[in-house]
Structure formats: C-alpha cells, structure tokens
Amino acid sequence: MLENLISDHLPKKNYEFQKTLSNNCRVDCIIKSSGALDNLCIDAKFPRESFEKILNSTSKDEKNKVLKLFRTDIMNHVMDVKNKYIIPGQTSEIALIFIPSEQIYLEIFNMIPEMTEKFYELKVFLVSPTTLWIVLSYVESILRDKKISENSKFIFHQLKELTNEIARLETRIAKMDSHFSNAQNDLNDILVTTKKIKNKKEKLIKLDIKT
C-alpha cells in the first residue's frame, strides 16, 4: 500500500524504496523534494503484533497488561525511527511511521492519546493512508512550485532575448528608412530578426511546466 500511494503521487526521481542511509540503516522509503521535507524518511514496520493482542484480550486485566506492553512497543519503535532516520544535515528533521489501516490509526490514538505530545517532542509522527495522502499532496505542490520557478527563469530569459530582438528590429527599420538605397540588405536583416522572434515565440508556446 505504501509503495502504491507514493508512486501514484510522485515522479520516480523524487522517492526511493529501501534506501541505505549514511549510518548504514535502511529506510522503507525516502521522499526527495526540497525545504524542510527534503529526504523525508518513512518507516513501515509498525508493531502490529502487540496491537492485535489488545484486540484479542478477553479480560480487563489482560487488556491493561497488553496495552501497557503496546505503549512500550510504540515508544521504543518511535525512538528507533528517530535514532535511525533523523540525521542532522542529511535527512528531514521529522520522520513518519506508516500505519496501513485507518481503523488501527484511530484506535491507537483512542488507546494512548497521551502519546501525541511525545510524537511532537521526538518529531516522529504516525500517518494513516489518508494523512500520508495529505503529506504527499503537499510535497507534490512543492515540486510543482519548484518546476514553475525554474521555468519562470527560462521564460524571463526568453522574453529578455525577445525584447532585444524587437529593439534590433526597430533599429534596422529606422536604418532602412534613412538609407533606402541599401533597402535590400536591410530587408534581409529584418527577415533574419523576424525568424529569430518566431523561433523564440515557439519555444515559449511549447514550454511544459507539468511535473
């Protein structure tokens, strides 16, 4: 499910599965974008076994016992993710733990709501398919804005060159008026300049800003 969600949203160059980091730890997925979310690590090794023990408990005492165990497992896993996948200067300052079920995701916060503050403190967050979709949509918008920004520079450069060609055209027209005897040569110059303007216009028309 994690692979499908990510591949459906992002270009292949902007993510990598089973990436080995500089500390020799292998993360399930890393998202490459820009800014605070660049090299965002996503872990998919949720301790589901201890969670299922809670659901299968048959008494209150048993449930409290396995709930305590689950809380410990979650905390240990969050710390493990923080230590492995948050590398200053190399990865994002936050990391995500993917929970493949909306129901399990909601149940976790219902069972251990006090853990929310710990997640913020450690900068490791649980995400469900829906919340991951929101994150990926945000990353997608970052990549789109970056692409538009890059193309804006290209458009500005083309318009600048186009302005220069127009100025050159005006100069040549003025020259033709004042030196009519050389009209044929000036007309050839005008045709050359006009062709350059047409080519630059076509480049702008064909510009693709899709991600």
Identify the band that residue 54 occupies on the pLDDT scale cut at 50, 70 and 90.
confident
Query: Is the model's pLDDT at 23 over the cut of 90?
Result: yes
Q: What is the 3-state secondary structure (H, E, C) of 161-198?
A: HHHHHHHHHHHHHHHHHHCHHHHHHHHHHHHHHHHHHH
- The residue written with tokens 């991951």 in the block is 132
Q: 36 versus 86: which is more confidently predicted?
A: 86
Query: Is the model's pLDDT at 148 over the cut of 70?
Result: no
Query: Is the model's pLDDT at 205 over the cut of 70?
Result: no
Rounded CA separation 132/1 (Å): 11
Tokens of 209: 């800003």
- Asked if 26 contacts 41 with a C-beta cutoff of 8 angstroms, the reply is no
Mean pLDDT computed over every residue of the chain: 79
Tokens of 99: 């929970």
Tokens of 26: 């292998």
- The residue written with tokens 């396995």 in the block is 66
Q: Check residue 120 and give its pLDDT.
A: 87
Q: Check residue 183 and give its pLDDT.
A: 54
Rounded CA separation 86/89 (Å): 9
Q: What is the pLDDT of residues 80-123, one digit of tens each?
A: 999 999 999 899 999 999 988 888 888 888 888 888 888 888 99
Q: Is the dihedral of CA 184, 190, 193, 199 positive or negative?
A: negative
Q: Check residue 204 and give its pLDDT.
A: 61
- What's the rounded mean pLDDT across residues 166-180? 60
Phi and psi angles of residue 57, each rounded to the nearest 5 degrees, phi first: -65, 145
Whole-number percent of the chain with pLDDT over 90: 19
Q: 147 versus 54: which is more confidently predicted?
A: 54
pTM of the model: 0.67
Identify the band that residue 163 occupies on the pLDDT scale cut at 50, 70 and 90.
low
- What's the rounded mean pLDDT across residues 14-29? 93
